[in-house]
Amino acid sequence: MRNSGLFVTISLAVVLSAVGCSKKEAADKAVQAPAVIVKGVSLETVKSAAVPEMLEVVGSVRARTSAVVSTRIPGSINVLRVREGDRVRKGQVLAQLDAQENQATAAVATAAIDEARRGLEEAVSRKKLADATFDRYQNLFKEQAISRQEFDIKQTEKDLAAGGVARAESRLKQAQEGAKASSTMSDYTRIIAPISGIIASKQADLGATVFPGQPLMTIEDDGSYQLELAIPENIATKVKPGTAVQVSLDAAGSSFAAKISEVVPTADPASRTYIAKITLNQKGLKSGQFGRGMISIGSSVTGITVPKSAVVEHGALTSVWALDKDNFARMRIVKTGRQAGERMEILSGLSDGDRIVAAGVEKISEGARVE
């Protein structure tokens, strides 16, 4: 039994000794392993400088040209030819209303034209007869074959016939204008696209009863969009057409410099903001998308900025690659602020004189040596 215990003790000592030797050898190999050499990266020395005071404002993408389609007469929708997302052209029939009263009025007006035209034909015939009769009586009166009274009667009949033709012509013109108005009202049963574009929204469905002025659908010209930013009234005087803005569109994943093209002169009484408009030329935009703009409000503060390409983001962790005196790369955790163009403000984590990798960060790893 004692010999067995001694054997176990000796075996354990041998194992521990072997493990210790293995760890030491691994450590020695790690110390002796050469550092990774990285070339072809850009470096920058951090310096404090004046940073413009920027204000971030948010807004939405809107179509520069849009039209709300509504009806001018009451009725029910019995034909609906479009839905959201459909592309339409100017003059295209979008829907049809069932308005029987307007159609009946148009039919009555058409019948009135026919009646007025027949009345004019009868008046013209009576005038021709009156003119011919007057000519004969005039010759008889010259020959003194009839009395003055008989002649005056025929002259009066001629004048009355001419007046009858004039009245018949007026009635025909009135009937024609009435028919034109009725035809116009009847045309209002056809809902026509006022502009070319895309059906952005639809407020009425097939079979719905609609009334004059009620919005039916909205058409947007998808060829031109603008970003409408809500500017607080306390800085509204500093924002004018031509003011530079750094625009970011989350949906499009783009950031670019732009200028304000228009500022609405009246404020929204609910939000106390003014609308500043920026023309957008990007493709694939849709009305209602979120956007933001960074606007310089004039004053500046001292701070540190680095190229945006130097910032590395891994989830919630933001860092840069800083170099020590021997040019070994070390990860430096930083806190970022606002972005101005292609540079990012650093609120903490860097100091004047620090050297960082400005471009080519994908080549860097912890402990790599930069040449």
Domain boundaries, the chain: 37-52+302-370, 56-65+223-299, 67-97+197-222, 100-187
Q: Which CATH number fits domain 67-97+197-222: 2.60.40.10, 2.40.50.100, 3.30.930.10, 3.40.50.720?
A: 2.40.50.100
Into which CATH architecture does domain 37-52+302-370 fall?
Beta Barrel (2.40)
Residue 310, both tokens: 């130097």
Contacts of 67 (CB under 8 A, 6+ apart): 194, 195, 197, 218, 219
pLDDT by residue for the chain (371 residues), tens only, comes to 444 443 333 343 433 344 444 444 444 444 445 678 888 888 989 888 877 777 889 999 999 889 999 988 888 888 899 999 899 999 999 998 886 666 666 677 777 788 888 888 888 988 898 888 888 888 888 888 888 888 888 889 888 888 888 888 888 888 777 766 666 666 778 899 999 999 989 998 988 888 988 999 999 988 889 999 999 988 888 888 998 888 888 888 888 889 999 999 898 888 889 999 999 988 888 888 999 998 877 666 778 889 988 899 888 889 999 999 888 999 999 998 877 767 888 889 898 889 999 898 888 888 888 88
Query: Residue 356 burial (CB < 10 Å; 0-12/13-18/19+)?
Result: buried
Cα 207 to Cα 80: distance, rounded to the nearest angstrom: 9
Pick from 245, 249, 250: nearest CA to 235: 245
Q: Which CATH superfamily includes the segment(s) 56-65+223-299? A: Efflux pump adaptor protein, beta barrel domain (2.40.30.170)
Q: Please, which residues have CB within 8 angstroms of residue 107's CB and are 6 or more apart in sequence? A: none
Q: What is the spatial distance between Cα 239 and Cα 65, in angstroms, rounded to a whole number?
A: 24
Residue 128 near residue 162 (C-beta atoms within 8 A): no
Residues 165, 125: Cα–Cα separation, whole Å? 9
